[in-house]
Amino acid sequence: MSSLSVRKTLWIFVAAVVIPAVVRADDPVTRAAHLLNERKFGEAKSLLISFVEKNSTHAAAAYYLGRLWLEEGNYEQAIDWFEKAVELDKTSSEYHVWLGRAYGRAAREASIFRKPSLARKTKAAFEQAVHLDPANVDARLALMEFYRQAPGIAGGSIQKAIEQAELVKRLDPYRGQLALGQIHEGEKQYSEAKRAYSEALRQFPDSSAAYFRLASLYTLVAQYDSAFEILNRILKRQPGSLLVHYHIGKVGAVSGQRLEQAEQSLKIFLRNQPPMENSWQAAAHWRLGMVYEKQGKLEDAGAEYQQALKLKPDHEEAKSALTKLRKRSG
């Protein structure tokens, strides 16, 4: 996982499953929703597939099947089920949000001929989600992200992204402030991004996301001492936070500074991170390899890069690092 991927993962980390109020607590759909929340995807899918065989017009079941297919990276199946959920319940803002997400992810891998159609569908789904529930913060943030990332010809607009972030601030000041920082950071307006993240931290000093945002920003602009200072402040408040340890390791790996602390933090992360999170494990092994390489421990570095590739064979950064290391050692 690249540093950019990690930052995006932090931003869009798995949303809590919302269980519709119309579903009884003993309903199979409710059980499947809890299994999804616990990341027991196989059990959840089996339960739902059996359920929809006899309940083909159940909107929530279609929605959760869409969520499961999306988790597996099967975007076409996810789209089919989300479209069915929306057809069965046209009033659900939540269903439209997830339909838009499925369209958007499919667009990333689509041919150049299909991308424009999927982009239009993504935008339309997010706009409908906002129309159905103007107070749905997730819907507004999804629309903001579309405006921020899409090219102008597909409907993208930084000004419209900022407008959505400002509207989010009225509903959820913390998330809105972070969203503004994200927009400015993406536009390389680093002073404005720092101001937005710092304001979020000032207003909500007990929440860690703003700390991580500032630390990532300081790392991006090579202000490594400031990044370490922020992360060590979080570590004092949350000594058991694995995410803090990962980021300390990342900053050390990138900067070549405080390598002993970076090494120890990454080892703590790897000892305690659940094995199922292979992408995070692979990223940590890659970063630890970077630390070892900067310490001159080339054999150890190679072993860490290989471990990263064992966990995630398509980890391009680890592949590149291992290739360069072998040339260097050869």
Select from 77, 74, 104, 103 the least CA-distant residue to 8: 104
Select from 88, 317, 153, 128 the least CA-distant residue to 142: 128
In the predicted model, is pLDDT for residue 17 greater than 70? no
**Amino acid letter at 23?**
V
Beta carbons of 180 and 174 less than 8 angstroms apart: no
The contacts of residue 207 (CB under 8 Å, 6+ apart) are 174, 200
The owner of tokens 């703590």 is 268
Other C-beta atoms lying within 10 Å of the C-beta of residue 51: 20
Residue 194 or residue 277, greater confidence: 194
Mean pLDDT of 242-266: 97
Lookup: tokens for 115 = 């991308």
Q: What angle do CA 191, 195, 199 make, to 5 degrees?
A: 170
Report the alpha-carbon distance of residue 24 to residue 161 in Å, rounded.
38
pLDDT band at residue 276 using 50, 70 and 90 as cut-offs: low
Which phi and psi (to 5°) does residue 166 adopt?
A: -65, -35
Per-residue pLDDT reduced to its tens digit, 94-153: 999 999 999 999 999 999 999 999 999 999 999 999 999 999 999 999 999 999 999 999
CA 193 to chain centre: 19
Report the alpha-carbon distance of residue 95 to residue 209 in Å, rounded.
26
Which phi and psi (to 5°) does residue 251 adopt?
A: -65, -40
Q: What integer pLDDT is reported at residue 180 of this predicted model?
A: 97
| Strand blocks (E) in the chain | none
Beta carbons of 138 and 97 less than 8 angstroms apart: yes
Lookup: tokens for 87 = 């057809």
Per-residue pLDDT reduced to its tens digit, 286-316: 999 999 999 999 999 999 999 999 999 999 9
Q: What integer pLDDT is reported at residue 275 of this predicted model?
A: 62
In the predicted model, is pLDDT for residue 18 greater than 60? no
Q: What integer pLDDT is reported at residue 26 of this predicted model?
A: 63
The mean-pLDDT minimum among 37-41, 178-182, 195-199 falls in: 37-41
Q: What is the DSSP letter of 140?
A: H
Q: What integer pLDDT is reported at residue 279 of this predicted model?
A: 83
Q: What integer pLDDT is reported at residue 278 of this predicted model?
A: 74
Residue 8 or residue 268, greater confidence: 268
Lookup: tokens for 194 = 């720092």
Using only the alpha carbons of the chain, give its radius of gyration. Answer: 21
Report the alpha-carbon distance of residue 85 to residue 57 in Å, rounded.
9
Q: What integer pLDDT is reported at residue 6 of this predicted model?
A: 38
In the predicted model, is pLDDT for residue 22 greater than 70? no
Share of the chain above pLDDT 90, in %: 85
In the predicted model, is pLDDT for residue 5 greater than 70? no
Domains assigned to the chain: 222-330 (1.25.40.10)
Q: What integer pLDDT is reported at residue 176 of this predicted model?
A: 97
Q: What is the DSSP letter of 8?
A: H
Other C-beta atoms lying within 10 Å of the C-beta of residue 232: 15
Report the alpha-carbon distance of residue 118 to residue 24 in Å, rounded.
35
Q: What integer pLDDT is reported at residue 246 of this predicted model?
A: 96
Report the alpha-carbon distance of residue 166 to residue 158 in Å, rounded.
12
Q: What is the mean pLDDT of the chain?
A: 91
